[in-house]
A and B are shown apart, each in its own frame.
Chain A
Amino acid sequence: MRPSAVVPLSYFLVLSAVLFGLGVAGFLFKRNVITVFMSVELMLNAVNLTFVALSYAFRQLDAQVFVFFVMVVAAAEAVVGLAIIIAVFRNRASLNVDDLDQLKL
């Protein structure tokens, strides 16, 4: 049997949906604020996979340029988010999201 050299495109889209779902699950279920943030990055990665798969499907490079922008925005967001986490940790000394539920110190 000749091994197959093709993969249906829908497999890539299903994989992306599964990764997105796992990212949402991490965002809701985990209690450490850094892990919650990493689940957001996982969701962004799943979206990137969708973009690249559709760029292949429609033979256009615009989607890959958009992936580039998504990565840059994710970098900026990670930088600011982690700075906020450090500042909050200095004031509350806790990284558990359940402890970070009040506006006053």
Chain B
Amino acid sequence: MYAVLFFVFAGAAVGFAVNLLVQRHPIYSALSLIGVMASLASLYLMLGAEFVAAVQVIVYAGAIMVLFVFVIMLLNAGEEVRTRRSLVVRQIGAPLIVLLLGLITTTLYRQVPADAVVRFGDFPGQTAGIGRRLFLYYLLPFEVVSILILVAIIGAVTLARNET
């Protein structure tokens, strides 16, 4: 039964991602991306990463994508217009993307033993463990990342300010 759940959420993720490419209006692309993130959050739950799933919904789908939706609303982005240059990109790009896909897949395959399986419920979510790793072992990256966010805030406020 759990294998069926995996295929449901994986199919939903791929379906939403394809919808992101197919839709012409950016708001539908944004909503499709939110769908991808929600499906991925369910897959993280199946892999036992509860904290990461919750953070994915709270931060990624609940804050970053709201920012995208705000910008699409404020700039009143309309439907997309296809120009001539994109045709060339598509003809060269499509086979190269398939090649890239194959390369990534084979590289990843070599990293794990061939018979590795995911048994649901096998790796109980360890929020406390993540907290310990984050605040004891990775404390320096944590502090650096908080400075990074501060820089990003200052940069965004300066860039988007009305020069009056």
Contact = CB atoms under 8 A, between A and B. Distances in A.
A105 interface: no
Contacts of A89: 75
Interface residues of B, number: 87
A22 B83 contact: no
* Prevailing SS type, chain B contact patch: helix
Contacts of A16: 108
Given A78-B68, A86-B75, A96 B86 contact: no
A56 B152 contact: no
Interface in B35-66: 36-37, 40, 43-44, 46-49, 51-52, 55-56, 59-60, 63-64
Contact of A9 (B1, B18, B71, B112): B112
Instruction: For chain A, give the interface size range.
Output: 35 or more
Contact of B112 (A13, A22, A48, A80): A13
Given A26-B20, A26-B21, A34 B141 contact: no
B101 A18 contact: yes
A57 B116 contact: yes
11 contacts: A5-B2, A8-B118, A10-B108, A25-B97, A31-B86, A38-B30, A65-B134, A68-B130, A72-B149, A75-B60, A82-B67
Interface of B: 1-4, 6, 10, 13-14, 17-18, 20-21, 26, 29-30, 33, 36-37, 40, 43-44, 46-49, 51-52, 55-56, 59-60, 63-64, 67-68, 71-72, 74-75, 77, 80-83, 85-86, 89-90, 93-94, 97-98, 100-101, 104-105, 108-109, 111-112, 114-120, 122-123, 126, 129-130, 133-134, 138, 141, 145, 148-149, 151-153, 155-157, 159-160
